[in-house]
Chains A and B, each alone.
Chain A
Amino acid sequence: MTDQIYDAIVVGSGVTGGLAAKELTERGLSVLMIERGRDQKHGDYPTEHMPVSDFKFRLMGDRRNDSHDQAAGKNEGSARYFAPRSDHPFTVAEGTRFSWIRAATLGGKSLTWGRQSYRMAPINFEENGADGHGVDWPLRYADLAPWYDHVEQIVGISGEAERNPLAPDGIFQPPMPMNAYEREFKARVGKAFPDRTVSMARTANLTRELGDRQPCHYCGPCERGCSAGAYFSTQSSTLPAAQRTGRLTVMTDSLVARVLTDDDGRRATGVEIIDTRTRQKKVAHARMVFLCASTLESVRLLMLSRNQAHPDGLGNRHDVLGRYIMDHQFSEPVMAMLPANGIANYGGYRPCALFMPRYVNASGQKEAYLRGFQLNAVITPTNWSRALVMPGMGIGADLKKQLKATGPWMLLLIAQCETLPRWDNRVTLDPTVKDPWGLPVLHMNVTWGDNDTLMREKAAESLADMLTRAGYQGAMRLPMESVPGAVIHEMGGAVMGNDPKTSVLDKHNRLHDIPNLFVTDGASMPSSAHVNPSLTFMALTARAAAFAADIIRGGGFGSGPFKAGAL
């Protein structure tokens, strides 16, 4: 294999790696996709429709022998898709905390992601430049809009068009239906707040067939895998597409230890790989390299690839690599209980909640904090497990009767808050601690800034106020801490920008210093925006892949000495 020169190496196989492989192979390029985790076949999801009674701990997990960190989507039915914490050690600066969640298999986190898919709004591309925080985006909404169009048709997103400038519409399949209490919530909020939109979440779950993928059958636990392909994952979508071209090579159980460059450090030539089963090292060569290894791993890889020409890491001549690390923050949830009276039960388990586009600082700066949040609303009946939390239900036949009857419903709001890009929020290589393969681990020094903390507090206040003014009684705030990384929307570290002195990547997601080395995952994001970010990662990936494929097809990135003129 060391003899072959691929057109491209793609490191990682999650939402961006899988898409890069698809886009590049469909444009005629040969691609080697390298995945650190083990192989995972589509349809081989042994817990997929397992009833709760088949799980030893009834989905409460093996709390005495757990080898994972807590994570969204991780439970007794899906833990197999998450990497045990011993696989990816890291250190944190004193007095700080960080949660780093990584995947264990081919497909990466695309198997277990939350699936909500929103376009960033035009304002999200402009606020860095306008308020001076972080690096100005080298793109505007209009630059990315056609790539959102492109990606949405691949992913398959159900949702509702709303003509809201802070939640640009996309190409949607029909939205999933609302239940009775959700329709009432929409009506009440619409009356009390004419400027606030309640809409069905835009989610990468199908309501119509898409190719050989089936519409959602509402079974519930998406994170265990879906053999019907009803939600977007690498396995359901991009991997089979790339494989159909006959130009994709997939290598699993293979950890990329560094990106190799030519002697003067101006061109990537390939990667060094460690076979995680045999610990043997090997090398693969390509005309270009796409890092889609997940935000922090891509950043780490650039750092681990330091060489004589780039002593501080690739793309780090100006000390920008590893900076501007962001995640989203969830506000504290606000909850109200609703009586069961008169509301019909329903069957099935819809894989998404409601969402409300950002409504703060929507037309000019009005709040005490910069930027904003969007929110989700869950309105759902309680089940028998309410007996564990509601006092006074007693015991015996009467308890059994109560639990068989329809219980009260729960209305829960939670805001997803943008966090500002901050120079001091950074990751570096730990000088002493190594991972199981002998590579330096990341040292996280990430905290919430004043604006982040203020917005999170004000968001919860706003949600409680909204419930009250919409006529819901007894709104309660539920205490919840907020640890960086825990939302698993980590972004930044190799940010895009126009100025090579203040950014790592150019507007095509490639290193200013090394034009055939691309980073198209969350590491490239100059700001976090208020929306779930995966769709934007994918739009950036598709855009960069098309740009890169044109260069390769035009004869650029050749194996000889790099010629700037070829670009």
Chain B
Amino acid sequence: MSLVLSPLRRREMLAALGLLGLGGAVGPERLLAAARGDAAAAADVLTAAEQAQVAAMAEGIIPATDTPGAIGAGVPAFVAMMVRDWLLPDEQVAFRRGLGEWQAEAQARYGKAFEDCRAQDQFALLTLWDKAASGAPLGGPKPPFAMFKALTIIGYYTSPTGQEQELGATMDAGLDDPKGPATFINLLQF
């Protein structure tokens, strides 16, 4: 589990180095085309119940506002795909253990599955887990919630909805053309 936040921190720094045209080792990667559509087949790792829980948790982290939230941006399918194809086997185990523990906590506190809890109860749970996760010591193993949150945020802000509707990002921005933070997207190579 420690793999998520530390590479991401490293990536942010190294992506900046990439700007220099010098550093930029970002991690093991290989081009795979035909990316769209894969997520639909991801049900083989997460169960239907787990996916419902993932969707509710992701939407709680990035809710619909004047723009769509995580569900509207397809984040649940993205998270399921990443669990299947990107996490290492021991990380998959830890991720699913996390899902089980959160579900148990929702049951204990509210007598319901997380996805069936009221919005304010979901928010309370997510806030609790977020604080616990962000309070974890630097450099040590990251709790599963840190990975969950990271996958949700990445999935949202790199989705067509996140890029185009939320951030207004374009690939053809010109210099000295203030468009707001959306156009930063490419700066860090996301």
Which A positions have Cβ atoms within 8 angstroms of B? 46-47, 49, 51-68, 70-80, 113-116, 176-177, 201, 203, 217-221, 330, 333, 335, 344-353, 376, 378, 380-389, 391-392, 394-397, 399-400, 403-407, 410, 412, 414, 416, 478, 480, 486-487, 532
Shortest Cβ gap from B62 to chain A (Å): 6
Q: Which residue of chain B has its CB nearest to the CB of A350?
A: B175
Q: Which residue of chain B has its CB nearest to the CB of A48?
A: B171
Cβ A352 vs Cβ B21 within 8 A: yes
Shortest Cβ gap from A177 to chain B (Å): 6
Cβ A395 vs Cβ B126 within 8 A: yes
Taking CB atoms, residues of chain A closer than 8 Å to B8 are: 385, 388-389
Shortest Cβ gap from A481 to chain B (Å): 10
Q: Which residue of chain A has its CB nearest to the CB of B166?
A: A404
Q: Which residue of chain A has its CB nearest to the CB of B175?
A: A348
In whole angstroms, how far apart are the Cα atoms of A76 and B190 in the complex?
10
How many A-B residue pairs have C-beta atoms within 8 angstroms? Tell me. Answer: 285
Taking CB atoms, residues of chain B closer than 8 Å to A53 are: 158-160, 162-163
Taking CB atoms, residues of chain B closer than 8 Å to A532 are: 21-22
Cβ B173 vs Cβ A347 within 8 A: yes
Cβ B158 vs Cβ A391 within 8 A: no
Taking CB atoms, residues of chain B closer than 8 Å to A486 are: 25
Cβ B189 vs Cβ A335 within 8 A: no
Cβ A116 vs Cβ B22 within 8 A: yes
Cβ B20 vs Cβ A396 within 8 A: no
Interface residues on B, range: 35 or more
Cβ A218 vs Cβ B174 within 8 A: yes
In whole angstroms, how far apart are the Cα atoms of A263 and B67 in the complex?
76
Q: Out of B31, B178, B186, which one reaches A219, CB within 8 Å?
A: B186
Most buried by B among A56, A77, A412: A56
Cβ A49 vs Cβ B22 within 8 A: no
Taking CB atoms, residues of chain B closer than 8 Å to A388 are: 5, 8-9, 12, 150, 153-154
Taking CB atoms, residues of chain A closer than 8 Å to B25 are: 70-72, 74, 486
List 8 additional A-B contacts (Cβ < 8 Å) besides A57-B86, A353-B20, A383-B188. Answer: A53-B162, A346-B183, A350-B19, A382-B184, A384-B162, A384-B167, A400-B166, A403-B153
Q: Out of A79, A345, A416, which one reaches B31, CB within 8 Å?
A: A79
In whole angstroms, how far apart are the Cα atoms of A54 and B163 in the complex?
11
Shortest Cβ gap from A80 to chain B (Å): 5
Cβ A221 vs Cβ B32 within 8 A: no
Most buried by B among A79, A176, A405, A407: A79
In whole angstroms, how far apart are the Cα atoms of A203 and B20 in the complex?
10
Q: Which stretch (B33-41, B43-51, B93-101, B107-115) binds chain A?
A: B33-41
Q: Out of B13, B17, B26, B190, which one reaches A70, CB within 8 Å?
A: B26
Cβ A59 vs Cβ B18 within 8 A: no
Cβ B29 vs Cβ A345 within 8 A: no
Shortest Cβ gap from B135 to chain A (Å): 8
Report if B140 contacts A (CB, 8 A): no
Q: Out of B26, B126, B157, B179, which one reaches A75, CB within 8 Å?
A: B26
Q: Which residue of chain A has its CB nearest to the CB of B28?
A: A66
Report if B116 contacts A (CB, 8 A): no
Most buried by B among A52, A78, A345, A391: A52
In whole angstroms, how far apart are the Cα atoms of A553 and B33 in the complex?
49
In whole angstroms, how far apart are the Cα atoms of A353 and B23 in the complex?
12
Q: Which residue of chain A has its CB nearest to the CB of B33?
A: A46
Cβ A400 vs Cβ B29 within 8 A: no
* 7 closest residue pairs by CB, A with B: A61-B29, A114-B21, A66-B28, A56-B35, A347-B173, A220-B186, A70-B25
Cβ A66 vs Cβ B30 within 8 A: yes
- 5 A/B residue pairs, CB under 8 Å, sorted by A: A51-B160, A52-B158, A54-B35, A56-B35, A350-B175
In whole angstroms, how far apart are the Cα atoms of A385 and B11 in the complex?
10
Q: Given A46-B33, A389-B9: A52 and B185 within 8 A (CB)? A: yes
Q: Which residue of chain A has its CB nearest to the CB of B153?
A: A387
Cβ B181 vs Cβ A383 within 8 A: yes
Cβ A345 vs Cβ B20 within 8 A: no
Most buried by A among B20, B28, B88, B126: B20
Cβ B28 vs Cβ A61 within 8 A: yes
Q: Which residue of chain A has its CB nearest to the CB of B35?
A: A56
Cβ A56 vs Cβ B177 within 8 A: no
Taking CB atoms, residues of chain B closer than 8 Å to A403 are: 153, 157
Taking CB atoms, residues of chain B closer than 8 Å to A376 are: 20, 22
Shortest Cβ gap from B148 to chain A (Å): 11
Report if B52 contacts A (CB, 8 A): no
